[in-house]
Amino acid sequence: MMLAIVGVKNVRQVKIKKMNNKNIIEIKNLSHSYGSKIIYKDLNLNIKEGSIYAILGKNGVGKSTLINILMGYLKPKKGQCLIFGESSHNLSNKAKKEIALLHEGFVAYDYMTIKEYESFYAPFYKNWNSKIFYELVDLMKLDYNQKLSTLSFGQKSQVVLGAIFAQDAKLIILDDYSMGLDAGYRRLFIDYLKDYIKEKNKTILITSHVMSDLVGLIDDMAIVQRQGLVYQDTMNNFIDNFKCYKLEDEDICKSKIHRLEEYKGSKKLYTFENIENLSKLEIDFEDKFLGFVGKY
């Protein structure tokens, strides 16, 4: 969450306010598997009101599975998931109206024009904000009478994202929002998202494969790995504390290795430890993420 902070007194007030924020999502002792394949094992995770939380991981580790469980589409083998204090498998209509979901592989009505698409969805949501919808559409300078079938996949994705934000829901879930968006459209959307959350106390749960988009955007994250392993941290702590070193002699620091990577005779060591006798490499968040989960 991006906050305008002026003076020491205000800093303390803002921190207290954020600490007192209630949990919008609570996951307690969640376990799930597909046959012998473990997806989650005793997962505990809280997402606070007004935060931007990212679920990260390689393909097939369970990011969309977690969203399906949260939305009540899938029942976990064990554990409890609460949204607004209600069980995700028995949400009241009131709670459902406060959730806007962009699911991977969204459905769009190609025979409709942009204007018809907005008019079709608006009556279903009491808080529908047409201004927000058209703000996102206008970023692409599209004609409102243009049919969705004539749009590129990226343009169509942006129209769908406009419909998600126009719902003015308290919880917005974006499952791989970047699918189909080129670098320009992604940047437009991220800039819009940052401005949007400045003005409104919304909670965002997001998944993405584009790591560069997330730097400076998300507050907290969970990195999902195979066999039910989940690492939780703030974005800033992970960037500051997960390091990469050029490795000459792996025997000197085996106990400190998180991951050892070797390519064409060059070795890199990834760790949360400080190792004074090795040369530290400056790498970006995407390289740190890949160093944590592995490239293959």
> Model pTM?
0.84
Q: Which 8-state DSSP code applies to residue 28? A: E
End-to-end CA distance of the chain: 33
DSSP string, 245-270: EE-S-GGGGGGG-SEEEEETTEEEEE
Residue 113 belongs to a domain: yes
Both 255 and 284 in one domain: the answer is: yes
- Output DSSP code: residue 22: P
For residue 219, report the phi and psi dihedrals to the nearest 5 degrees: -90, -55
Looking at the structure of the chain, the number of domains it has is: 2
For residue 193, being part of any structural domain is answered with: yes
* 13 located within any domain: no
Is 287 within the bounds of a domain?
Answer: yes
Task: List per-residue pLDDT tens for the chain, 296 residues long.
Answer: 333 323 333 333 333 344 457 999 999 999 999 988 899 999 999 999 999 999 999 888 889 899 999 999 998 899 999 999 999 989 999 999 999 998 766 667 889 999 999 999 999 998 999 999 998 899 888 999 999 999 988 788 889 889 999 999 999 999 887 776 777 778 888 888 888 877 788 999 999 888 888 998 899 999 998 888 899 999 999 999 999 998 876 666 666 789 988 888 788 999 999 888 889 999 999 999 999 999 87
CA distances from 144 to 53, 59, 149, 162, 286 (A): 33, 36, 13, 13, 37
pLDDT of 11: 32
* 77 in the same domain as 33: yes
Instruction: Examine residue 197 and state whether it is found in any structural domain, yes or no.
Output: yes
237, 267, 282 - which closes a domain: 237
- Residues contacting 271, CB < 8 A, separation 6+: 242, 243, 245, 253, 256, 257, 258
Residues 44 and 87 placed together within one structural domain of the fold: yes
Identify whether 1 is part of a domain.
Answer: no
Quickly tell me which residue has 């970047």 as its tokens.
178
As a whole number of angstroms, the distance between CA 1 and CA 237 comes to 16
For residues 74 and 145, membership in a common domain is answered with: yes
Q: Model confidence over 23-42: pLDDT tens digits?
A: 999 999 999 999 888 999 99
**160 and 122 both lie in a single domain:** yes
230 and 249 share one domain: no
Whether residue 246 sits in one domain with residue 233: no
In a domain, 145, yes or no: yes
Pair (60, 107) in one structural domain: yes
Last residue of a domain, one of 189, 215, 237: 237
Do 174 and 272 have their domain in common? no
pLDDT at 249: 67
For residues 188 and 223, is the Cβ–Cβ distance under 8 A? no
Q: Is 48 helix (H, G, I), strand (E, B) or coil?
A: strand
Domain match, 114 and 157 both: yes
The predicted structure's pLDDT at residue 9: 33
In sequence order, what are the residues at sequence separation of 6 or more whose Cβ sits closer than 8 angstroms to the Cβ of residue 70? 25, 81, 83, 88, 173, 205
Q: Do residues 233 and 270 both lie within one domain?
A: no
Composition of the chain by helix, strand, coil, percent to 5: 35, 25, 35
Q: Would you say residue 12 lies in a domain? A: no
**Domain around 127:** 21-237
The CATH number of whichever domain residue 207 belongs to comes to 3.40.50.300
Domain identity same for 167 and 120: yes
